[in-house]
């Protein structure tokens, strides 16, 4: 659903956002992300109710001192489900980002470092991978392996890999031409050592910026899958699944149990985008 | 030039071959025997077993199976659906108008508003208006289409009662009316992306010398923008639009589901749910093919729109 836009290593790309919001926007976004991580880790301490505790007499209740965000159709506390839902909604994307970053670095490093036919062959592979958008591959994975998070997470990791790999490849090709790389080679260091230990740390921050942006997209894609009823299954709380469960409540005119997780998704994704772009911005024009 | 186009077309056909092979072979990645996988969750009659074996040629060697399937696909024969007991091609064909209408409408919105907002931003760069647009696009880019969908339904359909909550409508005017909210839900993120690319691409062009020269020679700003800036800025905008097509097709699955529209995307989701693999395979293949074709067209069109980009060595 989302389209990944690569980090462009170009000077002054987002300086306009910085000039608008200044660094407080970046700081706020970091704080928001830390806050959601704490929410996920401390869920049992923070949630006022167990996420699956039902109270049928109290279904679709409006916000009250007992239920700050009201309840859903089966009387589950929306706030508690929102807090517990941050776990599945963030852990899945985290795994996608880690897997696709590792895989992308490995493939991009090999393609950029070796060049020649290896690069040509890998670039064709990336082109073909681009033709399978993340959500589509995840839907296919569910068709093959059944509902749940495991198969879609692996599928999306594969789909996100070429975005990282292509960036790493171009960074490696830029960095490879720098004198310090030749200097290491002259000193007799092996290719694996120079590429892995000397070159990689220099390009890692830029890759981190791309991965941060990817995290936001992964949150959207996985939530969409759960919204379609193909990802996280009820009664497990998950933001995307909560929106799906809340569709009836929306038509009944009491949308809070669906709108609350919707806002949570938007806030998290905006925060990831601001942080990712700010990192990319600070790195722009840097020597590799 | 002919060579360039021919090379791109050969590349496209090769990519389509490889992707179709991957989509077909995915059947064998599924756990268990392919026949059991295709029939799962059903109590098959002997005729059903025979029909499915026949359709996929499950007794043939793997490559022969792929060949038969591919020949079928080229004749628009995607096999039969187990759930609907109908030809997959027929089922999909019946749902294409809704999806196409949705994509056309949101495509129009994306082009019109994406370009307009981007150009307005570039021309007012640094001023309050531009900054407001920038913040707005940052937020819009983070709103998934299904979130936009439920918020739009909640506000405009349920609270205000201006729009229907589901269905695709009859006749042209009614159809446009029914598809309006879904098209908006589908467009928001993409408008944000297109406007950002338009803005930065326009700004790059505006800073160039030839623009200043044209202005100093007394040409009107309007004609300079149209003839010199916008034309040169079109390249990146075209590229991003090509990339968006696949995203649009996949996102339409989510939006169609949210608005209970009977389109290709919601058929894909239902078929995954009902384990009707022939339909899943067909729709995944069509989306991938659409992406490959549109991107080839963009690649071929690029040198025509921006002649500064030569069509590779040996072009012309």
**How high is the pLDDT of residue A15?**
46
* Cβ pair B15:A269 closer than 8 A: no
Taking only the tens place, the pLDDT of each residue in B16-65 is 999 999 998 888 888 877 777 787 767 777 777 777 777 777 777 888 88
* Cβ pair B165:A227 closer than 8 A: no
**How high is the pLDDT of residue A7?**
52
Torsion of CA A278, A281, A282, A284, to 10 degrees: 160
Rounded Cα distance, B18 and B22, in Å: 6
Query: To which residue do tokens 């078929």 refer?
Result: B271
CATH code of B95-305, in short, is: 1.10.3720.10
**How high is the pLDDT of residue A11?**
40
Report how many Cβ contacts below 8 Å link chain A to chain B: 146
CB A168 within 8 A of CB A214: no
Residues of B in contact with A228 (CB under 8 A): 253-254, 257, 269
Predicted ipTM > 0.90:
no
Picking from B191, B132, B139, B152, the residue whose alpha carbon sits closest to that of residue A267 is B139
Residues of A in contact with B27 (CB under 8 A): 144
Q: What are the structural domain ranges in chain B?
A: 2-74, 95-305
Tokens of A164: 């990282």
Rounded Cα distance, B4 and B138, in Å: 38
Tokens of A25: 């926007």
Per-residue model confidence as pLDDT tens for chain A (288 residues): 445 555 544 444 444 455 545 578 888 889 999 998 998 888 788 777 777 777 777 777 777 777 677 777 776 777 888 888 888 888 999 999 999 999 999 999 999 888 889 998 998 899 889 888 889 999 999 988 988 888 999 999 999 999 999 999 988 888 888 888 888 888 888 788 888 788 888 888 889 888 988 998 999 999 999 999 898 887 888 888 888 887 877 777 777 888 888 999 999 999 998 888 888 878 876 766
Handedness of CA A136, A141, A142, A147 (dihedral sign): negative
pTM listed for this prediction:
0.86
Torsion of CA B59, B60, B63, B69, to 10 degrees: -80
Taking only the tens place, the pLDDT of each residue in B222-272 is 777 777 777 777 777 777 777 787 788 889 989 998 888 888 989 999 888
* Cβ pair A128:B134 closer than 8 A: no
Residues of B in contact with A13 (CB under 8 A): 200
Closest residue in chain B to residue A277, using alpha carbons only: B138
Rounded Cα distance, A189 and B166, in Å: 65
Handedness of CA A59, A62, A67, A68 (dihedral sign): positive
């Amino acid at each position: 659903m989302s389209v990944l836009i690569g980090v462009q290593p170009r000077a002054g790309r987002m300086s306009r956002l910085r000039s608008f919001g200044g660094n407080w926007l970046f700081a706020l976004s970091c704080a928001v992300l830390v806050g959601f991580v704490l929410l996920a880790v401390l869920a049992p301490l923070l949630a006022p109710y167990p996420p699956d505790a039902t109270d049928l007499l109290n279904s679709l209740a409006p916000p009250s001192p007992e239920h700050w965000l009201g309840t859903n159709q089966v009387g589950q506390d929306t706030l508690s489900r929102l807090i517990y839902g941050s776990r599945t909604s963030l852990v899945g994307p985290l795994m996608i980002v880690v897997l696709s970053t590792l895989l992308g670095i490995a493939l991009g490093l090999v393609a950029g470092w070796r060049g020649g036919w290896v690069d040509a062959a890998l670039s064709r592979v990336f082109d073909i991978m681009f033709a399978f958008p993340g959500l589509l591959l995840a839907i296919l994975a569910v068709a093959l392996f059944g509902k749940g998070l495991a198969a879609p997470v692996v599928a999306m990791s594969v789909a996100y890999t070429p975005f990282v790999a292509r960036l790493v490849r171009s960074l490696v090709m830029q960095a490879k031409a720098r004198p310090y790389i030749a200097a290491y080679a002259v000193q007799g260091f092996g290719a694996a050592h120079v590429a892995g230990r000397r070159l990689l740390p220099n390009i890692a921050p830029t890759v981190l910026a791309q991965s941060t942006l990817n995290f936001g997209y992964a949150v959207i894609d996985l939530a969409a899958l759960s919204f379609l009823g193909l990802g996280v299954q009820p009664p497990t709380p998950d933001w995307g699944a909560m929106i799906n469960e809340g569709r009836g409540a929306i038509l009944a005119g009491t949308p809070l149990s669906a709108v609350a997780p919707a806002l949570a998704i938007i806030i998290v994704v905006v925060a990831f985008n601001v942080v990712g772009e700010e990192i990319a911005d600070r790195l722009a024009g840097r020597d590799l | 030039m002919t060579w360039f186009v021919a090379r791109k077309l050969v590349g496209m056909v090769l990519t389509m071959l490889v992707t179709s092979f991957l989509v077909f072979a995915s059947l064998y990645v599924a756990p268990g025997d392919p026949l059991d996988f295709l029939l799962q969750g059903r109590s098959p009659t002997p005729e059903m077993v025979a029909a499915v074996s026949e359709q996929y040629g499950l007794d043939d060697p793997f490559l022969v199976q792929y060949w038969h399937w591919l020949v079928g696909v080229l004749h628009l024969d995607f096999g039969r659906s187990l759930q609907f007991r109908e030809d997959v091609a027929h089922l999909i064909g019946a749902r294409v108008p809704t999806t196409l209408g949705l994509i056309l409408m949101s495509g129009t919105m994306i082009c019109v508003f994406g370009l307009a907002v981007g150009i307005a931003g570039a021309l007012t760069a640094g001023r309050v208006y531009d900054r407001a647009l920038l913040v707005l696009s940052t937020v819009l880019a983070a709103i998934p289409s299904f979130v936009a969908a439920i918020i739009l339904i909640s506000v405009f359909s349920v609270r205000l009662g201006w729009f229907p909550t589901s269905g695709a409508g009859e006749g042209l005017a009614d159809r446009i009316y029914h598809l309006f909210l879904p098209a908006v839900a589908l467009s928001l993120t993409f408008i944000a992306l297109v406007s950002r690319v338009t803005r930065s691409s326009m700004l790059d062009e505006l800073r160039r010398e030839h623009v200043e020269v044209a202005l100093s020679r007394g040409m009107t700003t309007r004609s300079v923008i149209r003839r010199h800036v916008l034309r040169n800025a079109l390249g990146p905008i075209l590229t991003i639009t090509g990339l968006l097509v696949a995203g649009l097709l996949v996102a339409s699955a989510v939006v169609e589901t949210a608005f209970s529209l009977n389109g290709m995307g919601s058929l894909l989701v239902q078929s995954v749910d009902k384990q009707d693999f022939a339909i899943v395979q067909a729709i995944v293949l069509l989306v991938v093919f659409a992406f490959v074709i549109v991107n080839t067209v963009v690649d071929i069109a690029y040198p025509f729109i921006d002649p500064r980009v030569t069509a590779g060595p040996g072009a012309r």
